Amino acid sequence: NLVHEAVRLGFSSVMFDASTLPYKENLRATREVAEYCHARDVWVEAELGEVGGKDGAHAPGVRTDPAQARDFVAATGVDALAVAVGSSHAMTTRDAVLDFPLIAALRDAVGVPLVLHGSSGVADAELARAVATGMTKVNVSTHLNKQFTAAARTYLEAHPSAVDPRKYLGPARDAVAEAVTRLLGVLHGVHAL
């Protein structure tokens, strides 16, 4: 399986998502992955409560239950837990509404770092508040993909005869670096919201 291959290749952490399975199956599969990985000094992030947005699936009402999260972490031994608190994977707009009381309750219920998936759909002020409320790790992908694509597209539109990828990948890479720098400032409270 993919986790075993990642470990064999030398990855020091994995994200294992069995959240679409019924709870007991998610727990069993996640525990097996955690045992395998921990025996090899590999850190494990898991997901509880379907964040949604993958493969067109979206479950906006689904939320992670704090008591279930506490039991899940205790039973599986995972090192971090991605939770469903109102964001969704692959959002191209930044209008997700996070449940901050739930984030605080989850923070108090589990003894491992909380992870926010679907962060591309969350506005800057909400991201900063999520970290202040208890999120430790914030995953951002779609937003960065949009920045990369927009910069490459802008270059190619301005230079329709361009064929050298270095000419448009450089600006695209720079756009991602700028976006990451700005987001890090937001998440660390450096930039004004």
Q: What is the pLDDT of residues 23-54, one digit of tens each?
A: 899 999 999 999 999 999 999 999 987 555 44
Phi, then psi, of 122 in degrees rounded to 5: -110, 130
Cβ atoms within 10 Å of 181's Cβ, excluding its own: 12
pLDDT, position 99: 87
pTM for this model (two decimals): 0.82
Q: 138: closest CA among 126, 155, 152?
A: 126
Q: Which position has the higher pLDDT, 154 or 19?
A: 154
Cβ neighbours of residue 24 under 8 Å, at least 6 residues apart? none
Give the model's confidence band at 60: pLDDT under 50 very low, under 70 low, under 90 confident, else very high.
low
What's the angle, vertex CA 42, arms to CA 79 and CA 48, rounded to 5? 35
Average of per-residue pLDDT values in the chain: 87
Rounded Cα distance, 73 and 36, in Å: 16
pLDDT, position 58: 40
pLDDT, position 193: 41
Is 80 exceeded by the pLDDT of residue 192? Answer: no
CATH architecture for the domain at 2-88+96-139: Alpha-Beta Barrel (3.20)
